[in-house]
Chain A
């Protein structure tokens, strides 16, 4: 029996009477890929914002044994949880390489006095970080973009960049918000292959996605949300058979 890396208990978030997330509980086992699906407005992104600390709700969130529901986003990130955004947020006026090198935790050169007092150690660390960023760029097959400004990248490349940047902080869990949306099929296949490879290395994922065939292929489990509530949970094959899930999706389009 594996441990739960993340457990969410009775999480609620209301916006002026709209119950965006209304009493959700999820437990995610270490090293699994969990897909979070549901029609538009089901509360998936709000759920992400709550888990990553960008919004405050009511309820209990425990990540790696630490209560994180009252922590700021940056503290949660330091615990080893990293998220991407629905609309990719590359730092467009910085180069791809700078985007990646920004990410690692506890960089000596991020403290002003160390920039002055230990320039040599800062330089050495920078070199290690640069090397690591090159390895990760290679893994995501975007090495050729290293020196480009992130603003010059295509939408799909920005998604890859976001994932690559997230990898730089050595996370134990990644939250991906629609990694396949607006990405051409070749690139989508690439992204899902990368997720699978990282999964094999033991990374835990929580993935919001609308592309049902793609998400069911990579997930160990699927959680279905509708109107702020969790309506179904189970193995991908099982979820695909559920008539109510299908109806919600088709109904949700109207």
Chain B
């Protein structure tokens, strides 16, 4: 009877299509990336081996260095500012009985929408002539800010939009973990006279640490994946102020037809993703159960 589950034909039938498709669209592109990354291919004629020139140029390229910096700013913003806010919000929601479902549904909503549509929507809100934000700020007496046109404000504008879209998602994630904590523990602490904030900090937060780890990991990965919102809202401008690694890579490949250089950049992005993930795992998450990615 074991043989039923040892039928190699069925096994192949079930496994091969997945392996084939996965290989073709994951592994093969990854391998060709390494190949193209060492050439100067422009898509039309030349394709010569250029060694590490693309990688050396990438780190000499001030614009690319600036886009790395932007990625790091996004990363720090999401880990150091968003994550604490997310924890506070989920604690707040978990503490109320009425409207809990409403809050959860509402804050989660932006994360199911297309990033490109959100980019268009917020581009309109930031518009200095007709946008909602300018009207609001000006009614409070603030001067007009040219959000997406100002090299100092464009990145914050994108950070805000990105936070607006994704914070709710993480809040719901953490909220689920908080609500899964047995009620009795909280009750016991309350009887012992612990105040709300005390219970939240000393009791709830330690209990949901694994999920906070997950959120931080996702934030790191998310910060390196940011690209749609930049391409849609600013295209990396003004003057490269909002370029992130991925948008810079896409522009180099598509606008300059620099496929060789572009793929080299994509390998660098990949390396960043691996290193940051590994670093975080080693430095902060080692005592927790390992979070699988």
Asked if A pairs with B, the answer is no
Residue ranges of A at the interface with B (Cβ–Cβ < 8 Å): none
* Chain B residues within 8 Å of A, Cβ to Cβ: none
